[in-house]
């Protein structure tokens, strides 16, 4: 019954900002790791940023200094603050979460994807 719901995508001008959110719901015991991936047209899906339950983060080199990932463990929600956006950031952004269910297995789950378009 675990589900990830994303929001926050949209159209923004170069240099602008957007904040994506992804909320997990269901029989959740813990979420050891959450992250954001993106897939641009004609390109392979890539990891943008990840964060552990204790706050350890990692970023793709292309977004370091511009994007910030964070999470609210009480809300089972992960965020991606995107600033100084560039046209090359245009992609569908997918939330991913490694989740341990209550009385259940550990598995990866994906959000539905949200479109981010950076264009003037």
pLDDT digit string (tens) for the chain, length 120 residues: 799 999 999 999 999 999 999 999 999 999 999 999 999 999 999 999 999 999 999 999 999 999 999 999 999 999 999 999 999 999 999 999 999 999 888 999 999 999 999 999
> What's the token pair of residue 92?
């569908």
DSSP track, 80-94:
EEE-S--GGG-EEEE
Paired residues of 91 in beta bridges: 116
What local confidence, expressed as pLDDT, does residue 1 receive? 78
**Residue 79 backbone phi and psi in degrees, to 5:** -125, 155
What local confidence, expressed as pLDDT, does residue 4 receive? 96
Counting beta carbons within 10 angstroms of the beta carbon of residue 107, is it exposed (0 to 12), middle (13 to 18) or buried (19 or more)?
exposed
């Amino acid at each position: 019954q675990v589900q990830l719901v994303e929001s926050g995508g949209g159209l923004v001008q170069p240099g602008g900002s957007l904040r994506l959110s992804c909320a997990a719901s269901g029989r959740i015991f813990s979420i050891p790791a959450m992250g954001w991936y993106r897939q641009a047209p004609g390109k392979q899906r890539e990891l943008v940023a990840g964060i552990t339950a204790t706050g350890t983060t990692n970023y793709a080199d292309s977004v370091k200094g511009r994007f910030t990932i964070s999470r609210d463990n009480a809300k089972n929600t992960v965020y991606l603050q995107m600033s100084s956006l560039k046209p090359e950031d245009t992609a569908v952004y997918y939330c991913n979460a490694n989740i341990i269910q209550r009385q259940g297995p550990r598995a990866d789950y994906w959000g539905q994807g949200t479109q981010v378009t950076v264009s003037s």
